[in-house]
């Protein structure tokens, strides 16, 4: 179940990666409000799980690939690669 504590861990992971909510939203093709709801623990479990899976995928990327992906997303593009779910 999606809880505020579990969701707070997602925002901590995102911050450690150096990504803003806006970057994550663009990279995943989601509205920023949806990313905020996921991180606040008010989103549906499916959205939470999808975001969690993407964070895991991004954490596994080499630093240079992560930087390129965040740059693209920062300009409104989507993350490359297959959806992890």
Burial class (CB in 10 A: 0-12, 13-18, 19+), 41: middle
How far is Cα of residue 42 from the mean position of the Cα atoms in its chain?
15
How confident is the model over 23-77, as pLDDT tens digits?
Answer: 999 999 999 999 999 999 999 999 999 999 999 999 999 999 999 999 999 999 9
From residue 63, give the alpha-carbon distance in Å to each of 17, 60, 77, 84.
9, 9, 18, 19
CA angle, residues 9, 48, 30, in degrees to nearest 5: 110
Identify the CATH class of 4-74: mainly alpha
Gyration radius of the chain over CA positions: 12
pTM over 0.85: yes
Domain boundaries, the chain: 4-74
């Amino acid at each position: 179940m999606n809880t505020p504590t579990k969701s707070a861990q997602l925002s901590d992971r995102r911050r450690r990666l150096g990504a803003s909510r806006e970057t994550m939203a663009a990279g995943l093709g989601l509205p920023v409000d949806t990313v905020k709801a996921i991180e606040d623990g008010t989103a549906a479990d499916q959205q939470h799980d999808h975001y969690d899976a993407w964070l895991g995928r991004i954490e596994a990327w080499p630093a240079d690939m992560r930087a390129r992906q965040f740059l693209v997303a920062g300009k409104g593009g989507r993350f490359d690669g297959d959806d992890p779910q």
